[in-house]
Structure 1
Amino acid sequence: MTAQKTPTPQTQGPVPVVSRALGPDLARGVMLLCIALANSHYFLRAPSVLGGYPQGTDGLDAAVTWFIATFVDGRAFPMFGLLFGYGVARIAARQERLGPRAVRRLLWRRSAGLVVVGFLHAVLLYVGDILAAYGVLLFFGAWLVRWPDRRLLITAGVFFALGALPGDGSLSISADPPHVTMLPPDLLTMLTARPAISAYVALLGPLGFAAPFALGLWAGRRRILEQPDRHRTLLRVTAAVGIPAAVLGAQPVALVLAGAVGVPDRPTLELLGPLHDTTGVLGGCGYAALLCLVALRLDAGPSRPLVDAIAATGQRSMTCYLAQSVVWTVAFTPFLLDLSGTLTVASTALLATTTWLATVALAETMRRTGHRGPFEVLLRRVTYRRTAPAPSEAGAPVRPGG
């Protein structure tokens, strides 16, 4: 008799579109608006800059500065980190039958894909790229997916506490003008100066994202954002505590940036900057919780074309994030349109919002035609080593959050 071979477990691919929960996708879609607003103002040139904002403004520009510093800066990227960790936990859970080593290798392939795409993105389009930083974070985070809950929460707490320590590393209090790598005077400078700074950002960035990432891993194990009906109390408390804490914690810096109060001395700023950033972690968690509660109410409601379009944007978050950078490159690069010395805070916020709306329209078009984002397809092929969608995806009707 010939011994039968035990079949090797096959990698389970990404979740079919019709099986995705609305909450996380809606949160990712809204998050991209926040990221556009948070990134774009750092391109502005002015005689005096603080926290990426020209100083001495008033009226509409001052109001927009206060709004973005209060609700967006330092709040969008923690939400990104939380959702990223959440997604990693769900990937690991779906592949659990492969065993720990196979899951780590799968996550490392995803990490490598993020690093390569992120590095090219940083060099060719936007030097403030965060994809490579998340790729580096995932390289180490692949070990965290099997940590017990207690260790994950302690890790999140430690990195949260480290971020609260006084220091001058907060972008919210930086007085530096846009770096030459953000506004390169020529193509040669762009291609030669950006690689080093991109590597620096990719290697140090994970330190600031570690706390929300660990929280996302913990939440992903429990499917908290996908099953908000089972976790209403936790989500309500997170939103009710996190968002007000973020708003209040932002006020010392936001009021200074808007010119409502004078700029304090440097030691005081080095206290206020970390306060702004650490309360932003609470705000990012609060935003995700609130959007998932909103999704719970919308999911059972009537026709929702705008919600579906924003969720489609969240499903294609990598593609839409990279599309934003094409706009920043064309608008602000000195040897292209060179608008960094022309646009104001308010007009730059309008450009960012318009850019986000354009990506929403693009994502909705892809949703209606049954196409995934090209960079999502690329990353999935690298991760799962598949060249075609599963049958359940190829012919399925597309409905975000179904």
Structure 2
Amino acid sequence: MTAPEPGPGPTPVAARALGPDLARGAMLLCIALANSHYFLRGPAVLGGYPRGGSELDAAVVWLLTTFVDGRAFPLFGLLFGYGVARIADRQAHRGPRRVRRLLWRRALGLIGVGFLHAVLLYVGDILAAYGVLLLVGAWLVRWPDRRLLVLAGLFFALGALPGGDSMTIDADPPGVEMLPPDLMTMLVRRPPVSVFVAVLGPIGFLCPFALGLWAGRRRILERPERHRVLLRAVAVGGLGVAVAGAQPIALVLAGLVDVPGRDVLELIGPLHDATGVPGGCGYAALVSLVALRFADRRGPLVEAIAATGQRSMTCYLAQSPVWTVTFAPFLLDLSGTLTVAGTALLAASTWLVTVVLADAMRRRGTPGPFEVLLRRITYGFVSRS
């Protein structure tokens, strides 16, 4: 079933396609799993995972490294670009200059919320990086397809270059920015780190963002019935590449093979990161095909996860208080106590709570508060859709 054509302004719920919302809602589970384990401490840490855990921990590490780490964030980058393309198309009647200004207002809203989020709750925030990306991306919406795809290819190749800046091979335990000993240290140390992450983060998101702009122009995720062959090929090929490309580092992090030398880590770490881009595209394609199957007969679970996706910014921000309370040294300080498996269970439980809360808001017809805020900044009014 094709979603009805939207009119000017933010897209009302009745006009939203199931695929993108379902993808955002489901992948917030992966975001929770990917973010939470980087708080863990131990005698030896590699790739955000303490070494020497139980067999269950090793299995969880393999699963997360293969299917989650470096795979969910490219998906959100793609969905972000897809959403920007749809906003630009819906607002095309305003003219290019006014569309850019609208997107810049949205970018400033993301930067403001993201910076506060990074300083007060989670220093690894991605919202501010998305905002910085959109300051540039507002110009990209008018680029021709070929130029967008060339840009995506260039930044994909850049991300695949051997080097030691991959989170996958980070051998250090979490620093004081993630685990500040007290509130004052947190407020002093986090702002410059947050600015650094926001400024450099867009480099890693530019490839999936450009691909999302390209896909958004064609409404591929909203009209999967017209693109079944492409979506099936991307789902199988993209996820296959992501799984295969993850294995060299996944086997190391899970403790199934010995840790190689730094020169080898600097090859397999970027390989893991780079193959996450086709993995993110594969996830988007897979969820769109699932959405096509359930478009005319949504059950309670599909509705709840889609409601989470419709409130993805609010639900993403709602995860961070859990990490702060659980891991901050001046609060529960469980970074050295929880195992990888225990932290994964905490992350899944946190996501499940946000799904329940989002579904409750859907039943009441209430949008997410941060979605309302961003819409007001972007469009100048509050929409209850």
User: What residue in structure 2 maps to residue 34 of structure 1?
Assistant: 30
Aligned residues: 379
Q: CA deviation at 1:336?
A: 0.6
User: What residue in structure 1 maps to residue 68 of structure 2?
Assistant: 72
Q: CA deviation at 1:383?
A: 0.2
Q: Identify which of 352, 360, 368 aligns with 1:365.
A: 360
Highest Rg: 1 or 2? 1
Distance 2:201 2:314 in 1: 21
Aligned 8 A contact 1:60 1:346 in 2: yes
User: What residue in structure 1 maps to residue 377 of structure 2?
Assistant: 382
User: What residue in structure 2 maps to residue 3 of structure 1?
Assistant: none
Distance 2:14 2:161 in 1: 44
Aligned 8 A contact 2:10 2:383 in 1: no
User: What residue in structure 1 maps to residue 316 of structure 2?
Assistant: 321
Matches within 5 A, 1:145-184: 145-184=141-180
User: What residue in structure 1 maps to residue 217 of structure 2?
Assistant: 221
Q: Which amino acid aligns with 1:319?
A: T
Distance 1:43 1:300 in 2: 41
Q: CA deviation at 1:171?
A: 0.3
The answer on 1:194 being equivalent to 2:184 is: no
Q: Which amino acid aligns with 1:371?
A: T
User: Helix, strand or coil for the counterpart of 2:337?
Assistant: coil
Runs ≥4 residues deviating over 6 A: none
Q: Which amino acid aligns with 1:128?
A: G
User: What residue in structure 1 maps to residue 44 of structure 2?
Assistant: 48
Distance 2:360 2:139 in 1: 38
Q: What are the Cα deviations for residues 26-63 of structure 1, in whole angstroms up to 9, with x where unaligned?
A: 00001100000000000001010000000122310000
Q: Which amino acid aligns with 2:310?
A: Q
Aligned 8 A contact 1:381 1:387 in 2: yes
The answer on 1:311 being equivalent to 2:306 is: yes
The answer on 1:109 being equivalent to 2:112 is: no
Aligned 8 A contact 2:81 2:216 in 1: yes
Distance 2:304 2:151 in 1: 36
User: Helix, strand or coil for the counterpart of 1:153?
Assistant: helix
User: What residue in structure 1 maps to residue 124 of structure 2?
Assistant: 128
Q: CA deviation at 1:387?
A: 3.6
Q: CA deviation at 1:12?
A: 2.5
User: What residue in structure 2 maps to residue 266 of structure 1?
Assistant: 262
Q: Which amino acid aligns with 2:167?
A: L
Aligned 8 A contact 1:38 1:73 in 2: yes
User: What residue in structure 1 maps to residue 181 of structure 2?
Assistant: 185
Distance 2:117 2:182 in 1: 17
Distance 2:99 2:172 in 1: 42
The answer on 1:349 being equivalent to 2:332 is: no
User: Helix, strand or coil for the counterpart of 1:256?
Assistant: helix
Distance 1:257 1:181 in 2: 24
Aligned 8 A contact 1:66 1:254 in 2: yes
Q: CA deviation at 1:388?
A: 4.7
Distance 2:47 2:191 in 1: 24
User: What residue in structure 1 maps to residue 3 of structure 2?
Assistant: none
Q: CA deviation at 1:179?
A: 1.2
Q: What are the Cα deviations for residues 207-245 of structure 1, in whole angstroms up to 9, with x where unaligned?
A: 000000000000000000000000111101100100011
User: What residue in structure 1 maps to residue 4 of structure 2?
Assistant: none
The answer on 1:232 being equivalent to 2:237 is: no
Q: Identify which of 333, 340, 348 aligns with 2:335.
A: 340
Q: What are the Cα deviations for residues 132-180 of structure 1, in whole angstroms up to 9, with x where unaligned?
A: 0000000000000000000000000000011111001110011011010
> What TM-score results when the alignment is normalised by the length of structure 2?
0.97
Aligned 8 A contact 2:375 2:383 in 1: no
Distance 1:64 1:52 in 2: 13
User: What residue in structure 1 maps to residue 80 of structure 2?
Assistant: 84
Distance 1:243 1:332 in 2: 32
Matches within 5 A, 1:290-305: 290-301=286-297, 303-305=298-300
Gaps of 5+ in 2: 1-6
Gaps of 5+ in 1: 1-10, 394-402
Q: Which amino acid aligns with 1:273?
A: G
User: What residue in structure 2 maps to residue 243 of structure 1?
Assistant: 239
Q: Which amino acid aligns with 1:258?
A: A
Q: Which amino acid aligns with 1:287?
A: Y
Distance 2:11 2:241 in 1: 34
Aligned 8 A contact 1:57 1:258 in 2: no
Distance 1:204 1:212 in 2: 15
Aligned 8 A contact 1:34 1:76 in 2: yes
Q: CA deviation at 1:89?
A: 0.2
Q: CA deviation at 1:13?
A: 1.4
Q: Identify which of 16, 21, 28 aligns with 1:20.
A: 16
